[in-house]
Amino acid sequence: MSGNESKITHKLRMMSGFELPIDTLSLLKPDGSLHDGAKAPKLSKETALRIYDTMLFIRVLDERMVAAQRQGRLSFYMTCIGEEAAVIGSAAAFEDHDMIMGQYREHGALRYRGFPTEQFMHQMLSNSKDLGKGRQMPIHYGSRALNYMTISSPLATQIPQAAGYAYGQKLDGKKACTLVYFGEGAASEGDFHAGMNMAAVLKCPTVFFCRNNGYAISTPSEEQYAGDGIAARGVGYGMQTIRVDGNDVLAVFAACVEARKIAVEKQEPVLVEAMSYRLGAHSTSDDPSGYRSKDEEEKWRSVDPVLRMKNWLIAKKWWAEQQEKAVLETYRKEVLDTLKATEKVPAPALEEIITDVYDQPPAHLQQQLAELREHIAKYPEKYPKTAQGVK
């Protein structure tokens, strides 16, 4: 029923923003058992172990890369710690030919699709083997082969882009959809509302996935918005909407399987709000001790999404402690060895900054390149990697 066809009343009554509370789907307890009355989704052993293996890899990658940044080997890094179930559990519910548009904290989704360790390193070190040729800041990954759109730094720009990309999928008659990630902070941006409205009106097969992790950098969610969270906005835009426990991989996977089914089969958008917690800092430039307590963090560690899934796998006899120890040791060595090897890869050739974009670079860019060469040649100590290739 549209707003123009609503039921007529003759009594004046205002509605509160909390009169339509949206439940949170939760299936899995922290100890790995199911809640009473909960039903686990159809999740094969192979897929479950692939999800968990990706979780372990991302934990190791995050740990090692934060350390590498502290050592001065990387300029910047952002972790996925605490949100692995939300990110990897959702990615697992989609097909490889579905497009993924991330915000910046979804490297678990990219890894789940098969992004190799070397490519993570090439991108973060901006070397000549980086798929983006060093044009993006660290963790702004992209892969055409894996249908993972390159990350864009400006907040929320991927949301209207996802609506538009999905509309193109619809016009092409593809049995595919677009999954777009964003945080609850991005949901305050105008781009969020523009993208949601466009997708709702044009019936775009877009799955909007909000990682509500409690903080927009240092601003707690209760200071970001009024009303019943982000999910209520999906209802307001006329979308099918669900809120899930973002630390519960089974709930996330089940919700996203259904969301994809609606998007592809009914050709309409869906909003999923995953309630989680960012256990790590916003980035390596952030210090969360200035705005939240250790007690708060410890409370959320008790519902750690990785531990919760591990307990479930062990209960099903699909996993064992000894296996985990071996996998972690393997990944720690792989990540460190790959980082060391990748650090030896040279920077991209300077001229590729324009020749790799234009078939015939325009004269004004060629002039700028010549001036850049002169500048680097004059101050080589300021550009130690690039200066080696500048004469």
Any idea what the CATH number is for the domain that residue 83 is in?
3.40.50.970
Question: 45-70 and 305-315 are packed helices; what angle lies between their axes, rounded to 10 degrees?
Answer: 150
Strands 270-275, 148-149: pairing is unpaired
9 found inside a domain? no
CB contact at 8 A, 244 and 207: no
Residues 61 and 179 in one domain: yes
Q: pLDDT per residue over 236-270, tens digit each?
A: 999 999 999 999 999 999 999 999 999 999 999 99
Q: Do 273 and 210 share a structural domain?
A: yes
Is residue 292 very low, low, confident or very high in pLDDT (cuts 50, 70, 90)?
very high
Q: Which residues contact 271 (CB under 8 A, 6 or more apart)?
A: 196, 208, 210, 230, 231, 233, 234, 237, 239, 240, 241, 242
Is 273 in the same domain as 154? Answer: yes
Tell whether 265 is covered by a domain: yes
Percent of the chain with pLDDT over 90: 90
82: its two tokens: 């605490």
**Rounded mean pLDDT of 218-229?**
94
Confidence band of 359 (pLDDT split at 50, 70, 90): confident
For 29-65, write each residue's pLDDT tens digit.
999 999 999 999 999 999 999 999 999 999 999 999 9
Report the pLDDT averaged over residues 353-365: 90
149's enclosing H/E stretch is strand 148-149
Are 362 and 241 within one domain?
Answer: no
Both tokens of 300, joined, read: 């959320």
Over range 209-225, report the average pLDDT.
Answer: 96
Instruction: Provide the residue count of the chain.
Output: 391
Q: Is 125 a domain residue?
A: yes
18 in a domain, yes or no? no
Radius of gyration of the chain (CA): 23
In the chain, the N- to C-terminal Cα span, in Å, equals: 69
Whether pLDDT at 99 is above 90? yes
C-alpha triplet 253, 257, 259: angle, nearest 5°: 115
Does a structural domain hold residue 13?
Answer: no
382 and 273 in a common domain: no
By three-state DSSP, how is residue 145 classified?
coil
pLDDT of residue 1 exceeding 70: no
Same domain, 122 and 229: yes
Supply φ then ψ for residue 93, to 5 degrees.
Answer: -85, -5
pLDDT confidence of residue 391: 63
Say if residue 338 is in the same domain as residue 356. no
* Residue 384: predicted pLDDT: 82
Look at residue 254 and tell me if it is in a domain: yes
pLDDT at 388: 74
Tokens of 26: 């939760």
Q: What are phi and psi of 151, to 5 degrees?
A: -65, 140
- Domain assignment present for 215: yes
The answer to whether 303 and 240 are in contact (CB under 8 A) is no
Confidence class of residue 343 from pLDDT cuts 50, 70 and 90? Answer: very high
Predicted confidence (pLDDT) per residue in 296-340, tens digit: 999 999 999 999 999 999 999 999 999 999 999 999 999 999 999
Read off the pTM.
0.95
pLDDT of residue 355: 87
Residue 104 neighbours by CB under 8 Å, 6+ apart = 78, 139, 140, 151, 153
- Under the banding of pLDDT at 50, 70 and 90, the label for residue 16 is confident
Q: Same domain, yes or no, for 85 and 205? A: yes
Q: For residues 144 and 260, state if they share a domain.
A: yes
C-alpha 290: how far from its chain's center? 25
Q: Based on the domain organization, do 374 and 307 belong to the same domain?
A: no
Exposure class string for 351-360: b at 16+ Cβ within 10 A, else e: eebeeeeeee
**212, 3 in Cβ contact below 8 A?**
no
Taking the C-alpha atoms of residue 106 and residue 140, their distance in angstroms, rounded to an integer, is: 10
Tens of pLDDT along 174-204?
999 999 999 999 999 999 999 999 999 999 9
Asked whether residue 295 is domain-assigned, the answer is yes
Domain encompassing residue 186: 24-343
Average of per-residue pLDDT across 202-227:
96
What tokens does 119 get? 């490519």
Same domain for 203 and 273, yes or no, is yes
What are the tens digits of pLDDT across the range 112-142?
999 999 999 999 999 999 999 998 999 999 9
pLDDT band at 170 (very low <50, low <70, confident <90, very high): very high
Instruction: Please give the pLDDT value at position 110.
Output: 98
Number of domains in the chain: 2
Tokens of 31: 């100890």
Does 372 lie in the same domain as 332? no
Helix or strand or coil: residue 230?
coil
